[in-house]
Amino acid sequence: MPSRSKQKKKSEATGQAMILSPKRLFVTLIITAAALLAFKGTAPAGRIPPPDEYGMVVIRNYSQKAGFAPVVFDHWLHRAMYTCRLCHVDVGFAMEAGATKIKAENNSKGFYCGSCHNGSRTHNKKVIFAACPGTAGQEDRTRCDRCHSLGREVKRDYEFASFIKDLPRQTLGNGVDWEEAEEKGLIKPVDYLEGVSIKRSSLAAQKDFSIESKSTWMTDVIFSHKKHAVWNGCEVCHPEIFPSVRKGTVKYTMFEIYAGEYCGVCHDKVAFPLLDCQRCHTKPVR
Amino acid sequence: MKKTALFITLFISWALLLPGASPAGRLFLPGNGYAFAEEDWRGEFDSICAKTGDSMELPTEELKGLISRCDKLKEVIGKLDESTKKVFSKRLQMCRDLYAFALEAKEKK
């Protein structure tokens, strides 16, 4: 591969300007198209969801076949009430949208949504409505519509705007600083569900560590291991998302992260978006 | 009086070490040291996965033991009804994977 100075000299010698020939243009276009295809659907250039839709998951594995609209799951509401660990470890929801393949039968046996949505469990002294039974009569139908609501006008118990009204704000994602909200005691995510969770040994203290930035113009990441472990436990991240056992052996790239790997499993989907660079790249400039 | 106390002590020790009655008692069972009635699978699951919070602090032998218990329990869970199997197979796998991760980290240190 010739260096830029050599290329410049060559073009000066031949008297040609650095304009792409049709052949080069064609090759460049092919490479660009291939790159765009490789990162299809994961590039940040996609639609940025409004705050109330950020983290929203549409679950449509079986709903339509059963005559229901797909489920609209609001992460903002559930994350304010429960830790990530509770749902993704104790309840067993997969980290990938649609991968759990929840059936009404699972819910009615007290699993997945039915772990809480069983008509008897409470949150803040309020009874949590039961999940939709597989074969719903007209009476159940209204209840089913509370979750099976894609494309429907459904009255909700919790409206986004009023729910976040008193929570500390951030510019991106849901527009809420969930971390600060918890620190101030404005939200108290539940981490234990009777009959579902396990009484665990207390979480071992985790040390924060820094991850060196590859770019000279970007400061290093200070990764808060403790903060992540408190919300996620250990098994959400290890080894499924971060399989490496030795720090520094895997070099993470922002391309991979934007493609939904590593930090990108949560950030840009539910946790604050990747565009909010300075929330991770926090190490002071030397 | 001393005889009665001795008898009670022996009886309690025997009951605690009775195969299947307690984790200690299970050690006396033939095979891999663990066996449990089908209805006990949940207790075994809870016991195995209760240590994920400090998995990195556990000694190598304990981690190996936990992984082995996971493998045993997987077979039992595999025979349960579809919903239970689906949920608990995944939950158990997460515990197992974490213990294997912790073990690998220790061995590579």
Give this complex's ipTM.
Answer: 0.81
The pLDDT profile of chain A, 286 residues, written as one tens digit per residue, is: 444 444 444 444 444 444 556 776 676 666 666 655 554 444 445 678 999 999 999 999 999 998 999 999 999 999 999 999 999 999 999 999 999 999 999 999 999 999 999 999 999 999 999 999 877 677 778 889 999 999 998 888 899 999 999 999 999 999 999 999 999 999 999 999 999 999 988 888 888 888 989 888 899 999 999 889 999 999 999 999 999 988 878 889 999 999 999 999 999 999 999 999 999 999 887 6
Q: What pLDDT score was predicted for residue B27?
A: 42
**Chain B closest-CA separation from residue A45 CA (Å):** 34
- Bridge partners of residue A123, in order along the sequence: A126
Q: Does A112 touch chain B (CB under 8 A)?
A: yes
C-alpha R_g of chain A: 24
Q: Is A191 helix (H, G, I), strand (E, B) or coil?
A: coil
Prediction pTM value: 0.79
Delineate the domains of chain A, giving CATH numbers in brackets: 1-47+202-286 (3.90.10.10), 50-200 (3.90.10.10)
Q: Is the CB of A112 less than 8 angstroms away from the CB of B91?
A: no
% of chain B beyond a pLDDT of 90: 62
In whole numbers, what is the pLDDT of chain B averaged over residues?
81
pLDDT category, B38, cuts 50, 70, 90?
low
Closest CA to A273 of A50, A103, A7: A50
Establish if A285 touches chain B: CB-CB under 8 angstroms: no
| d(C-alpha A211, C-alpha A220), whole Å | 6
DSSP3 helix / strand / coil % (chain B, rounded to 5): 75, 0, 25
- Within 8 A of B97 by CB-CB distance, chain A residues are 235, 238-240
Number of helices followed by number of strands (H, E) in chain B: 5, 0
Does A250 contact B at CB distance below 8 Å? no
Burial class (CB within 10 angstroms; exposed 0-12, middle 13-18, buried 19+) of A277: middle
pLDDT at B29 over 60: no
The two tokens of residue A110 are 């007290």
CA A110 to chain B, closest CA, distance in angstroms equals 9
**A208 within 8 A of A188, measured Cβ to Cβ:** no
**Residue A105 contacts B where some CB pair is shorter than 8 Å:** yes
Is residue B51 within 8 angstroms of chain A, CB to CB? yes
Amino acid at B75: E
* Of the candidates A205, A204, A223, the residue with the CA atom closest to the CA atom of residue A283: A223
Inter-chain contact B46–A199, Cβ cutoff 8 Å?
Answer: yes
Residue B56 touches partner A, C-beta closer than 8 Å: yes
Which residue in B has a C-alpha nearest to residue A115's C-alpha?
A: B87
Residue of chain A whose Cα is closest to the Cα of B100: A239
Question: Between chain A and chain B, how many beta carbons pairs sit less than 8 Å apart?
Answer: 74
Buried b (16+ CB within 10 A) or exposed e, A38-56: eeeebeeeeeeeebbebbb
Cβ within 8 Å, pair B49-A92: no
When pLDDT is averaged across residues B39-45 and rounded to a whole number, the result is 92
- % of chain B beyond a pLDDT of 70: 65
> Given the structure tokens 């290093």, which residue do they identify?
A220
